[in-house]
Amino acid sequence: MIPAQFEYVAAESAEHAISLLAEHGDDAKLLAGGHSLLPMMKLRLAAPELLIDIGGLTELAGVATDGDELVIGATTKHADLAASELVGAQAPLLAYAAGQVGDPQIRHRGTIGGSLSHADPAADLPMAIVALGGSVVLHGPNGMRTVPADDLFVGYFETVVQPDEVLTAIRVPRRPGNPWGYQKFVRRANDWAIVGVAAIDGRIALANMGSTPLRASAAEQALAAGASPAAAAEHAADGTSPGEDMHADREYRRHLARVLTRRALEHQTG
C-alpha cells in the first residue's frame, strides 16, 4: 500500500503551520505522530497534497498547570502522558488511558492532539477527555477559541476543527484523589475497544457506542438521583446508537456498555 504523491514541509512554529493551512486549505493535513493519518494515506482514504509536520514543535509539547487545570501540549506523546508524575497526580484517569493506547511503539510516537483530531469513536483518549470534562484550544488565522470536549466530536472521524485551525493544547480539570473507573473490552491486546467506559465525578463516557465518544447521560442522571452504581449502569446504553461489525452486534455492545459501566462505577481507583 503506497500513498498518493504529496509534498512535505516541517513547520517552524505553530503560526507557520496555521499560515500553511490557510494557504492550502483542504489540500493540506497536519502530521504529528502519524499513526492515524499515514495508514489512511496508504489505503488512499486520505490523499493530502501537502503534509505539514508539527511533530517537532517543542512549543506544542509538555504538561503544565494553569489554575485548576492541566494544560497539555497537542504533540505530547502518549508515553509521556502515561509516565508524567504531574498527570498521574492531578488527572490519573488520563495517565491510565494514555497507557492503554496501542502498544509501546504507538505510545512513543502517537500524540494526544493527533488522537483527538482523528476522532476515532473507539479510541481511549477521546473517551477519557470527555469523561474528564476537558476542552481543546484551537488556533487559526482569526485567533484562538476553546471548545469543550462534549462539543468537539461531531461524527465518525470528524470534529469541529476547521481546515485552517491547529489544535494546540488540551485542558483538563485537576482532580487529585478523585475516584475514577476505566474499563474496556477488546478481542486481543492492543485492539481498539469493542466498548469502553470511563467514569469520574458522576460523568460517564463511552467509546464505540456511536459515531462519536459520548456521555452515558441516562446513567449519569440516575446516579445524580441517588441510584446505586448497579442500577445506574442499567441505563448506560440508553439513547446510544452503536454500530455492528465482525466483533459485535448492536445488542452485544449495549450489553457490554451496561456491564462495563457497572464495573467502572463499582471498582473505582483514587
String of b and e for 158-190 (b: at least 16 CB within 10 Å)?
ebebeebbbbbbbbbbbbeebebbbbbbeeeee
The CATH code belonging to domain 7-53 is 3.30.43.10
Would you list the DSSP string of 227-257? --HHHHHTTTTTT------SS--HHHHHHHH
Say whether 162 sits in a helix, a strand or coil. coil
Task: Choose which CATH entry (3.30.465.10, 2.120.10.30, 3.40.50.720, 3.30.70.520) describes domain 60-173.
Answer: 3.30.465.10
Residue corresponding to grid cell 506544542: 60
* pLDDT more than 90, % of the chain: 78
Tell me: the pLDDT tens digits for 41-90?
A: 788 878 888 889 998 899 999 999 999 999 999 999 999 999 999 999 99
Name the residue with higher pLDDT: 1 or 214: 214
What CATH homologous superfamily does 180-266 map to?
CO dehydrogenase flavoprotein, C-terminal domain (3.30.390.50)
* Spatial distance between the Cα atoms of 162 and 165, rounded to a whole number of angstroms: 5
Residue spans per domain, the chain: 7-53, 60-173, 180-266
Amino acid at 177: G
Give yes or no for residue 35 having a pLDDT over 80: no
